[in-house]
Amino acid sequence: MHRAIDQADLIINVGHDVVEKPPFFMRPGGAEVVHINFNSAQVDPVYFPQIEVVGDIANSLWQLKERLDPQEHWSFSDFHRIRDALQKHINEGIQDDSFPIRPQRLVDEIRKVMPEDGILTLDNGMYKIWFARNYPATKPNTVLLDNALATMGAGLPSGMAAKMVHPDRRVMAIVGDGGFMMNSQELETAVRLKLDIVVLILRDDGYGMIKWKQNDMDFQDFGLDFQNPGLRGLRPRLRRQRPPRGIHRRPGPAGGRVLPARRRARDRLHGGLPRQQPHPKPGNPRTQQQTMTLTRSTLHAPCFVACQRVAWSVLAGD
């Protein structure tokens, strides 16, 4: 995109909001900019459009198209060349069979199993950058992400809302383990409302994006690591139709009945919280075969939670 902007003599900027990261920085003597939005531009030292079209965006673009006549001297060869180079760069790594799985491969596999009208909702983390850049959306509003405030924990509730609005379409929420644990209790809501969604959890046992930013600023990691609380045990526990007998089914006075009730509830839970199995070693051939088991049939599961480690170091060039 930056190559295309550098060669342009006119930039039409549609729907720009200053809360977003600017797609380019204006400079005196550079390309002219046309600002098309519902609101007037908020001018600052790096964004001062020469022309503004304020109003309904769709209608503004339609009227602009109606008033344009193709010119013989127009050439789009540079843009085609840039697009081909971008697509070649995106395709790098989609056939990589290494473990942990590379982000490019993961995005490509998700694209293969999702239908064209399927909805992807993203939480916030390194993976959001990869999906936003590498996941080709063929229908409008099929990739939902909060790109402005980048609120962690948004992926799961966004997927639930998307499924409630479009119950006939496939929905997948892609979340990191940090963001998922901020509101994982909403899986109970999803099961209770019988929302047929897929939740894919990308695990790195820490706040990976903050680590990357701190490392980029030569800061040491502080308070960014955590342990996996047993994510694989959530699915069978959420399938439980009745609450543990003894906690909800045996109300009574405190004293002699409370402690036995707690013991009975503990026994019914088979020793308390489910334990996370140790992560398989990268060199295990069985692990290599199980890295990509996501198929279209998986999308029909009532509630599917997959834990997977992802090598985010690719973003830094490793």
pLDDT computed for residue 97 by the predictor: 85
Here the CATH number for the domain that contains residue 61 is 3.40.50.1220
Mean pLDDT for 205-231 is 82
Q: Are residues 104 and 48 in the same domain?
A: no
Residue 12, strand partner residues = 34
* Same domain assignment for residues 170 and 312: yes
Among the candidates 30, 51, 83, a domain finishes at: 83
pLDDT of residue 299: 43
pLDDT at 264: 55
Instruction: Note the pLDDT of residue 210.
Output: 84
Q: Which domain holds residue 78?
A: 2-83
Q: Which residue from 42, 34, 31 is spatially nearest to 7, judged by alpha carbons? A: 31
Residues 168, 47 share a domain: no
- Please report, rounded to a whole number, the percentage of residues in the chain having pLDDT higher than 70: 72
Q: Is the pLDDT of residue 182 over 60?
A: yes
- Average pLDDT of the segment spanning 84-100: 84
Q: Which of 12-26, 151-165, 223-237, 261-275 has the lowest mean pLDDT?
A: 261-275
Q: Are residues 148 and 295 in the same domain?
A: yes
113 occurs within a structural domain = yes
User: Which one is predicted more confidently, 108 or 302?
Assistant: 108
| pLDDT score, position 254 | 44
Residue 276, domain member (yes or no)? no
Give the total number of structural domains in the chain.
2
> Are 144 and 211 found together in one domain?
yes
Q: Minimum mean pLDDT among 18-32, 103-117, 190-204: which range?
A: 18-32
Residue 214, pLDDT above cutoff 60: yes
User: How confident is the model at residue 179, as a pLDDT?
Assistant: 87
Q: Are residues 13 and 72 in the same domain?
A: yes
Chain segment 39-74, per-residue pLDDT in tens: 998 888 888 999 999 999 999 999 999 998 888 888
